[in-house]
């Protein structure tokens, strides 16, 4: 019996996943060392989405979860080709357990946070459930993707965690400097959208200089414009946004 299991553990992914007996303790150890860097300790989210949900959009059952872990979800979630079938099954079982953990308890009044969001003009750059303007990321399900600490930092120091696809670039062309969010780039051309919403397209060979600004965000820092209570309330409201109609 054991020799069969050990043998199954060494087979390539997909050949006999059901013979691997998951070990949650092993799963947690692997998660902490290989997944937490993106999904946070305990799967509360970071660069990768929070995994503390009863149902994961891209891995709704344990079978698809094992597949997602082994093969990854291109382009951003890497596959874990280095893990054996048993290790994959063990991490999957650990992740299933995370979905049974209640969402974080945060201080703050989520209802009031919604009013703060409106009063501070956040909707001028963000969509929530179809309302607002899409100059920054859609926040309709941000609570399912980011933990409280990450949300807080995104508001007070936007450049601390730049959302994907919002890289700022600066181009100096014909003596004029244009800054904006990169929309597209290849070795020869660069397209960006400036703060006023205008689109610009450049040939790299024809501009004086261009550079990426990886440490800057086009979102203003709100640290000084928000009281501590307003910030708590705002974070509590954003954390409650999980893609359902609000
Ligand atoms: C380099 C960062 C990174 C690492 C390391 C990483 N992930 Fe991910 N993971 C992501 C990102 C980003 C996504 C979102 C992909 C998408 O939706 O396209 C994701 C998505 C997922 C999903 C689907 C979530 C959903 O809501 O459907 C699961 C499950 C998952 N990861 C589990 C793991 C596990 C388990 C490990 C460790 C073996 C791991 N990830 C390692 C970045 C990472
Ligand atoms: C001038 C436009 C602008 C305004 C106003 C603005 N944001 Fe942003 N926001 C952005 C942009 C662009 C990004 C993506 C770059 C980044 O992550 O810093 C972003 C990112 C974020 C993120 C991170 C999203 C993620 O995927 O992690 C959160 C959370 C957020 N904003 C919340 C707010 C809140 C709350 C307010 C109001 C207090 C606000 N924003 C006001 C433009 C804006």
Give the pTM. 0.65
- The closest alpha carbon to 146, from 59, 26, 50, 78, belongs to 50
Do 53 and 144 lie in one domain? The reply is no
- The predicted pLDDT at position 244 comes to 58
Ligand 1: which atom is nearest the Cα of residue 60?
27
Tokens of 13: 């992914």
Output 92 or 197, whichever has higher pLDDT: 92
The total number of structural domains in the chain stands at: 3
Task: Count Cα atoms within 13 angstroms, Cβ side, for 14.
Answer: 5
* pLDDT confidence bin for 99, thresholds 50/70/90: confident
Go through 149-173 and write b for each residue having 16 or more CB atoms within 10 A of its CB, e for each that does not: bbbbebbbebbeebbeeebbbebee
pLDDT digits (tens, 9 = 90+) for 12-55: 444 444 557 899 999 999 999 999 999 999 898 889 998 987 77
Do 178 and 207 lie in one domain? The reply is yes
What is the residue range of 181's domain? 168-213
Tokens of 151: 């949300």
Do 119 and 232 lie in one domain? The reply is yes
Average pLDDT over residues 137-158: 88
- The predicted pLDDT at position 102 comes to 56
CATH for 126: 1.10.760.10
Residue of 163, 165, 182 to test ligand 2 pocket, by largest number of atoms within 8 Å of CB: 163
Q: Please report whether residue 161 resides in a domain.
A: no
Do 117 and 235 lie in one domain? The reply is yes
Ligand 1: which atom is nearest the Cα of residue 37?
5
Query: Rg (Cα) of the chain, in Å, rounded?
Result: 22
* pLDDT confidence bin for 2, thresholds 50/70/90: very low
């Amino acid at each position: 019996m054991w020799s069969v299991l050990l043998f199954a553990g060494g087979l390539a992914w997909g050949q006999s996943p059901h013979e691997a007996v998951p070990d949650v303790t092993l799963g947690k150890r692997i998660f902490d060392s290989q997944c937490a860097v993106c999904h946070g300790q305990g799967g509360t989210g970071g660069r990768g989405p929070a995994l503390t949900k009863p149902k994961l959009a891209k891995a709704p059952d344990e079978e698809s979860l094992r597949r997602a872990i082994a093969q990854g979800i291109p382009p951003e979630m890497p596959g874990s080709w280095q893990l054996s079938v048993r290790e994959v099954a063990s991490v999957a079982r650990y992740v299933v357990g995370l979905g049974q953990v209640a969402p974080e308890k945060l201080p703050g009044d989520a209802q009031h946070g919604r009013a703060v969001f409106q009063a501070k003009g956040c909707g001028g750059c963000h969509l929530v459930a179809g309302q607002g303007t899409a100059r920054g990321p859609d926040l309709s399900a941000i609570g399912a993707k980011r933990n409280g600490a990450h949300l807080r930092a995104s508001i007070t120091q936007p450049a601390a965690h730049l959302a994907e696809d919002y890289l700022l670039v600066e181009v100096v062309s014909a003596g004029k400097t244009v800054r904006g969010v990169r929309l597209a780039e290849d070795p020869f051309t660069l397209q960006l959208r400036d703060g006023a919403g205008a689109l610009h397209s450049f040939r790299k060979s024809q501009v004086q200089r261009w550079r990426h600004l990886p440490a800057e965000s086009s979102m203003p820092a709100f640290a000084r414009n928000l009281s501590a209570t307003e910030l708590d309330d705002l974070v509590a409201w954003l954390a409650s946004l999980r893609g359902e109609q609000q």
